[in-house]
């Protein structure tokens, strides 16, 4: 009887170890409708919200092997909501995104490091208006029944990318810091 | 002019302060909205909003003061229709001094730009961001301002008419000088 109990415990223990591997999912399919990319900036000290309606996100993430994860996001800058129709039009111009020459913003990850507690640090390169800058993006992974979500917030400096040149370079009117907030929802393969 | 014929000093100070700010905010509003987008335009919009919210506070103070103090009586021989007109115009001016900044504040919220008084005190957004509501409130704000313009013309016109044409010392009612004049 005692021996049986030990065997049972051993079996439970093995099952417990095996379970994550058995259920391991690599998240590869991004669900655009449940994903969003927004931003917030300050204009004359006033917070203004905006976002992008169209973007293509490609990712691969296996919680068991986070180091092998990767992400690539391409944002269609024409889908901008810059807070008002007037600002949407203005943002297309040469001083801002110069959208006819640079229609997309791209982020490509280079390294993903687990910080514990389902939090990760994603390093990568953000390219806007022909300028690339290395960014560090914190990401929180939330497993879900049907889809997992990956949430993150980071701050970029618009002038690093030449966004808002000339008269708009005055950061007292439109702040240099832009808070980017994203949620990417994805399912396993 | 006996003291009873003159408004109380706080009422007079509030009146002229509000008048001054209205005479800045009104043309600023007319001018700024046609400008192409620029940092200068954003600054003017902020200044306009700051003045507007200041006016709203002044209006609240003025209404409170008016309700708790008796204004100097109108001359006894003044025609009844003039008394009624005076009452109506003053009443409507108070209503507009509240309604105009309020409509501006609501419009700002509906258009997705919260109002932060002097860049320091954030006011709550009483309505959600909503394009249609924002455009509607812009129309309301403009219509109320044209009504204000008409009322101010009547108000100033009547005061000048009483003072210079009827030759009653009417301007002293709102004047700085406490001494009786002949």
CATH number (domain holding residue A71): 2.40.128.110
Half-sphere exposure of B66 (CA within 13 A, CB side): 16
| Percent of all residues in chain B with a pLDDT value above 90, rounded to a whole number | 80
Quick check: helix, strand or coil at residue A42?
strand
Instruction: Please give the share of chain A, as a percent, with pLDDT higher than 70.
Output: 87
Task: Choose the weakest-confidence range: A5-19, B25-39, B57-71, B116-130.
Answer: A5-19
Across all residues in chain A, what is the average pLDDT? Answer: 90
Q: Residue B15's closest CA among B176, B128, B146?
A: B176
Alpha-carbon distance A45 to nearest alpha carbon in chain B (angstroms) = 5
Q: Is the pLDDT of residue B3 over 60?
A: no
Range of the domain at A108: 25-188
* Whether ipTM exceeds 0.90: no
Average pLDDT over residues A87-115: 96
Residue A58 lies in a domain: yes
Residue A138, domain member (yes or no): yes
Q: How many domains are there within chain A?
A: 1
CATH class of the region B3-174:
mainly alpha
- pLDDT for A146: 83
- CB neighbours of residue A82 within 10 Å: 21
Q: Is A130 exposed, middle or buried (0-12, 13-18, 19+ CB in 10 A)?
A: exposed
Asked whether the beta carbons of residue A83 and residue B37 sit closer than 8 angstroms, the reply is no
Give the pLDDT confidence score for residue B182 in this predicted structure: 41
Of the candidates A77, A79, A88, A75, the one whose C-alpha atom is nearest the C-alpha of residue A48 is A88
* Helices (runs of H) and strands (runs of E) counted in chain B: 4, 2
- The H or E element spanning position A59 is strand A55-60
Q: Is B39 in Cβ contact with A174 (below 8 Å)?
A: yes
Write the residue in B37, B38, B43 that is nearest to A44 by C-beta.
B43
Q: pLDDT confidence of B76, banded at 50, 70, 90?
A: confident
Model pTM?
A: 0.84
- Please tell me the predicted confidence (pLDDT) of residue A188: 86
- Using CA atoms, how far apart are residues B142 and A166, in angstroms rounded to an integer? 33
The pLDDT score that the predictor gives to residue B5 is: 83
A10/A61: higher pLDDT: A61
Residue A19 located in a structural domain: no
* Among candidates A87, A90, A173 on the partner chain, residue whose Cβ is nearest the Cβ of B43: A173
Q: Using the beta-carbon criterion (under 8 Å), do B42 and A49 form an inter-chain contact?
A: no
């Amino acid at each position: 009887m005692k021996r049986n109990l030990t065997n049972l415990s051993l079996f439970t223990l093995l099952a417990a170890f095996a379970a994550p591997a058995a259920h391991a999912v690599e998240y590869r399919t991004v669900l655009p409708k449940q994903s969003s990319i927004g931003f917030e900036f300050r204009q004359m000290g006033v917070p203004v919200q905006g976002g992008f309606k169209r973007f293509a996100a490609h990712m691969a993430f296996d919680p068991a092997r986070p180091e092998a994860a990767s992400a690539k996001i391409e944002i269609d800058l024409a889908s901008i909501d810059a807070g008002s129709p007037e600002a949407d039009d203005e943002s297309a111009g040469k001083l801002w995104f110069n959208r006819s020459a640079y229609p997309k913003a791209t982020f490509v990850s280079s390294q993903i490091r687990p910080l514990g507690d389902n939090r990760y640090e994603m390093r990568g390169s953000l390219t806007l208006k022909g300028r690339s800058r290395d960014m560090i993006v914190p990401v929180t992974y939330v497993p879900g029944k049907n889809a997992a979500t990956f949430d993150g917030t980071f701050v970029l400096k618009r002038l690093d990318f030449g966004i808002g040149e000339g008269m708009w370079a005055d950061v007292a009117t439109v702040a240099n810091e832009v808070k980017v907030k994203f949620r990417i929802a994805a399912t396993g393969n | 002019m006996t003291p009873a014929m003159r408004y109380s000093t706080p009422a007079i100070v509030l009146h002229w302060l509000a008048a001054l700010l209205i005479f800045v905010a009104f043309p600023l509003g007319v001018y700024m909205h046609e400008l192409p987008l620029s940092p200068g335009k954003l600054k003017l919009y902020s200044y306009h909003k700051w003045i507007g919210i200041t006016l709203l506070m002044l209006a609240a103070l003025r209404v409170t003061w008016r309700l708790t103090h008796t204004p100097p009586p109108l001359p006894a021989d003044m025609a009844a229709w003039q008394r009624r007109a005076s009452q109506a115009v003053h009443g409507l001016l108070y209503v507009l001094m509240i309604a105009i900044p309020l409509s501006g504040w609501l419009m700002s919220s509906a258009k997705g730009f919260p109002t932060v008084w002097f860049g320091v005190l954030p006011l709550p957004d009483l309505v959600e961001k909503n394009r249609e509501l924002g455009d509607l409130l812009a129309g309301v704000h403009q219509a109320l301002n044209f009504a204000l313009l008409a009322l101010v013309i009547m108000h100033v016109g009547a005061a000048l008419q009483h003072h210079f044409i009827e030759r009653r010392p009417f301007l002293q009612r709102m004047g700085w000088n406490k001494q009786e004049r002949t």
